Structures are given as structure tokens and as C-alpha cells.
């Protein structure tokens, strides 16, 4: 699944580590999600949406879109 996490991070000047710390996950988890190598659990997706003040649909979208 593709996502806009890297863009949303850049808009806030946050590192992967900052996002990871805010969500209580590892930096490697954020990296894997950004690269599309790992699809987050639904609770983590909701936490990401809340953190970035977006809907899940504004962050995540199917490959090829």
C-alpha cells in the first residue's frame, strides 16, 4: 500500500524517529511503512491519521493510484 507519510513528515520537519517516538513504535517500523514494505495495523493507521490530523484515506491508498 502506498502512502504520504514521508511528505507529511517533511511538511512538519519531523524525522522518522520523531514520528516513531510519538507513536511508540520503532524507527524501522516507520521506515518500512513509508517504503510500502509493511502495512500498519488498523490501530496504528488510526494513530498515524490522528498524528497528522488527516483521515486514513488521505494518508494511505492502493498501489497504482
Q: What is the pLDDT along the chain (65 residues), one digit of tens a residue?
A: 899 999 999 999 999 999 999 999 999 999 999 999 999 999 999 999 999 999 999 999 987 65
Kindly write down the DSSP assignment for every residue of 1-57, as one continuous string: -EE-HHHHHHHHT--HHHHHHHHTS-HHHHHHHHTTS-PPPHHHHHHHHHHTTS-HH
**In this predicted structure, what is the pLDDT of residue 62?**
85
Residue 63 lies in a domain: no
Residue 65 lies in a domain: no
Residue 39 lies in a domain: yes
**In this predicted structure, what is the pLDDT of residue 63?**
77
Residue 64 lies in a domain: no
Total structural domains within the chain: 1
Residue 52 sits in a domain whose CATH number is 1.10.260.40
Residue 16's domain comprises: 2-57
Amino acid at each position: 500500500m502506498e502512502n504520504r507519510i514521508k511528505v507529511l513528515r517533511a511538511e512538519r520537519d519531523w524525522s522518522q524517529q520523531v514520528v516513531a517516538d510519538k507513536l511508540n513504535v520503532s524507527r524501522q517500523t516507520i521506515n518500512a511503512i513509508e517504503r510500502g514494505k509493511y502495512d500498519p495495523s488498523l490501530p496504528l493507521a488510526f494513530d498515524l491519521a490522528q498524528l497528522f490530523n488527516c483521515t486514513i484515506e488521505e494518508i494511505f491508498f492502493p498501489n497504482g493510484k
